[in-house]
Structure 1
Amino acid sequence: MRLTMISDLLAKVAPHLDRVPSRPADDLQSVAAELAASTWSRRMVEDAPILIDVAMLGLLGRRQLAVHQLRGAAARHASLTDLHSLPDAPPALLRQPWLLEARHPDEGDRLFGDTFALAGYSLDGTSYLLGLLGNGAAAFAPWRPRWTGEDLDEGTHQERSPLIDEGHAFGHAAWAREAARYAVVFGLLAEAEGTPLRIGEGRQRDARAGLPVRNVYLDGAVAPPLESLPGAGPAERDAVARQVRGHLKRQRHGPGMSLTRWIYVSQYAAWRWVRPES
């Protein structure tokens, strides 16, 4: 059975959006709840409250939302890329409603873990993440990003993430951390200098739910082979291979190093000389 995408759900919402004014008088939470109920039914919304968030995504993104459709290699690359610094401001992608979907989820493509679709929007100072999983479950998490600009020693694969507030149940917190990490890393890869991701506008006939599609591919980014064992090194030192994964880092530039930009550093391997353990 074909997996339902977030864009499929948005397609059901779309015909009902015309009845909602561009500047609704009621609060948006109530408007989204009514929109979801009119799209499906109150009973369905009670059983699956994430439908309200899908309606909110359609409501806030009806003039700017695009579907980023990731090929398998591009999706895997984003999940494996390390982040060596936190942004001090959100990537451009996250400044408006956004939607990422694996292109072939029925063939096993995933963004991270079992998640094949991930979307987000911001309302009243809080961001909200929603995802669909291959086991038929849906996931949702509020997110108050902390754009501190600090350096990270271990990237974002941590038990406690600097990207998202704690307080969720254990299993839910794990998904929330990975979802926040994936959103930030993909957003930075989309704009970083030297990025291996290529994003192209899809054909008009490929539009989903009336939303434009942006196809995301991976261009190369193959790690260079480790050079042969180096020659003689310092006395009493052994040559040890060091692997460094592809990562994003902030680089200062411009007059007085007053400007910053994000660059992608490809995975590489090198030898280093270490003193053997006694």
Structure 2
Amino acid sequence: MSKKSTYVLGILATIIIGSFLYHKFCCSSDGNISPIKENSTPANANSGTLNQLSLFSLKGKGIDFSSHDNFNFSRNGFTHFLPVPDSIDLGLSSLKTIFDKGGQKLRITGFATAEEMNNSSFPNLGFARANGVKDYFISKGFLDSDIEINGEIRDNLSFKNDTLFGPLSFMISEKDNTATTDWTALKEKINTNPLIFYFKTGQAYIIASKEDHQKVADISNYLNHVEDAKLEAVGHTDNKGNADTNIRLGQKRADFAKSYLVKNGIVAEKINTSSKGPAEPMNDNSTKEGQAKNRCVVVKIN
């Protein structure tokens, strides 16, 4: 074989071996050393443009943390998936170290699309999602008083099938010690026009209005910031049937209202229940309209 042929074969061998090694170590889907571009789409996003809400981000004084993981939800759902990824817990641990020093607050805003159904007791599904995530922060040692929540309707959210990825934003800011809330006035507002759940005859099924949703949000806000505050959920019935049976039905309704509120993020230990049955009618039992309004649970702050 001539020197020229040997030289050409050597070049071809180098190209073949180089291509093999390149595809094995740099481009294989199973490889672990390929560089990840900053704008690469995480596995939990749509194949389209990545929505920035899909990223979990905590940015503020003393912290600059982000992760492709986040709190994710099902379509129309307000309870985030479990378990929460370890990367999020790592960010929360760093944030808590900062919050333990005092002086900062966190605002969690939850989002939902206009097409989603709001089956929560809060003003909108985004608000309910923010409340659920707030509860998780509290389970990690954060204080109620350091966290505010809000909910908004937004349509540019990242769905994949029926899973919604990261419909939340987190804003960290300095506390304004001059800003105060009149909690006494809020309590008076809640109790003057209390939350009332109405029920059909003989049933324990809650029918909540949009106004009720806002009342639940106000109650949640009050309980989160006023130490030792308690709710009283009192069941009532009309005057039809046996009085003892109605007492039990009123209690069943009160307990059902409690479970409904707990499901929507209010701590069970902060809710007391009781029943008046037909003993203290809220309206006139001589009319069908009055009887219907007496089949209720009245929720007030003690």
TM-score, normalized by length of structure 2? Answer: 0.26
Larger radius of gyration: 2
> Hey, which of these two has a bigger chunk of helix by percent?
2
TM-score, normalized by length of structure 1? Answer: 0.27
> Hey, which of these two has a bigger chunk of strand by percent?
1
> Relative contact order (C-alpha < 8 Å, sep 6+): which is higher?
1
